[in-house]
Amino acid sequence: MKRACKDCKILVDAGACPLCKNSNFGTNWNGRITVINAEKSAIAKKLTISKNGDFAIKVR
């Protein structure tokens, strides 16, 4: 199961977060969004996502 960075909400398989380089992950996340154009995506802005990738909507 993928883990979600608690800071960036990006979903990763293993290792550190590719965005913030931390390993502050939560496995209890729900919702999933694939951002392919973060600069133009209104949803990405709302979730304060500035990079492309797979993100969780909520992370606990």
For Zn ion, the binding residues (CB under 5 A) are: 5, 7-8, 17, 19-20
**Which CB sits closer to Zn ion, 7 or 39?**
7
Place of tokens 């496995």: 27
CB of 5 to Zn ion, least distance (A): 3
Strand, coil or helix: 41: coil
Q: What does the alpha-carbon distance between residue 25 and residue 41 come to, in Å, rounded to a whole number?
A: 24
Cβ at position 33, least distance to Zn ion in Å: 15
Q: Which of 26, 25, 7 is nearest to 16 (CA)?
A: 25
Distance of closest approach, residue 35 Cβ to Zn ion, in angstroms: 14
